[in-house]
A and B are shown apart, each in its own frame.
Chain A
C-alpha cells in the first residue's frame, strides 16, 4: 500500500515568508508526528497528533510554528516569518496509534526547506 507522502519535496523561500508543508499519512493511521532534522543530526520531535487533536506540541520551537490536522488524516505544518535557522529537512511519520508498544512509526521522504 501507499506509504507516507510529503509535499513539496523541496521548498525554497525567502526570510520572512510564510510556508506550508503537507503530510499525507498512511490510510487508517490515527497517530501523526512531525520532526525536524538538521544536517548531521537525528530527527527532532516537533508535534504529535492523535486524530484531529495535537496531543503533544512540546517540541515546537516557538509560536511561529503551527500544525493542523482538521479531519484526522492530512496534516499541514505552517511556519510564519521564516528565518534562515528554519532551514532543515521536515519529516512526517504516522502510526496506527492506540497505545501499543509496538506502534511503529512510518516516515515519509521529507520536505527539504531552505530559507534564503
Chain B
C-alpha cells in the first residue's frame, strides 16, 4: 500500500480557503485517493475520492496532478465546525474485492475565529 505524508497540523482563520497537500510518491496505477474527516470521539467520515485531475462535491475539491504523486484537498471558506483531523488514504481499487486502507496520522486542522 502506498505510504502517504501530510502536514501534522494547520491553522486557518474562518472564511479562508484551506488546502491540505498529501504526498504519495509510490502510488500504484490502480490506486485511488480518498480523504476522510474525523472529529474527536467520532469515526472518520468520507469527504471525497478521486483518481486524477479534479473532483468536486458539495463539501470539498480534490486536485490531483498528472503524475499523481500528490493530491490537495481544498476546503472553501472554512468555519469553526471544520476543525478536525483530515486523513489522506491511498488504496487499491478492485483488489480482491475490497480496499484495505491504511490511515496515517492525518492533518489536524484548527480553524480560528
Contacts and interface: CB of A to CB of B under 8 A. Distances in A.
A110 B41 contact: yes
Contacts of A97: 97-98
Given A109-B42, A110-B42, A110-B43, A99 B104 contact: no
A91 B49 CA distance: 21
Interface in A89-115: 89, 91-93, 95, 97-110, 112
B43 A109 contact: yes
Q: Which of A4, A98, A99, A112 has the most CB of B within 10 A?
A: A99
A93 B42 CA distance: 12
**Which DSSP category, helix, strand, loop or mixed, fits chain B's interface?**
loop
Nearest to A4: B43
Interface residues of B, number: 26
Q: Which of A43, A56, A97 has the most CB of B within 10 A?
A: A43
B96 interface: yes
Q: Which of B41, B98, B103 has the most CB of A within 10 A?
A: B98
Interface string B19-38: 00000000000101010000
Nearest to B8: A40
B44 A41 contact: no
A56 B100 contact: yes
- 10 A-B pairs with least C-beta separation: A101-B93, A107-B43, A42-B103, A99-B97, A43-B103, A104-B46, A91-B43, A107-B44, A99-B94, A101-B32
13 contacts: A4-B43, A45-B100, A45-B101, A50-B98, A95-B99, A97-B98, A98-B97, A101-B30, A101-B93, A107-B42, A107-B44, A108-B43, A110-B43
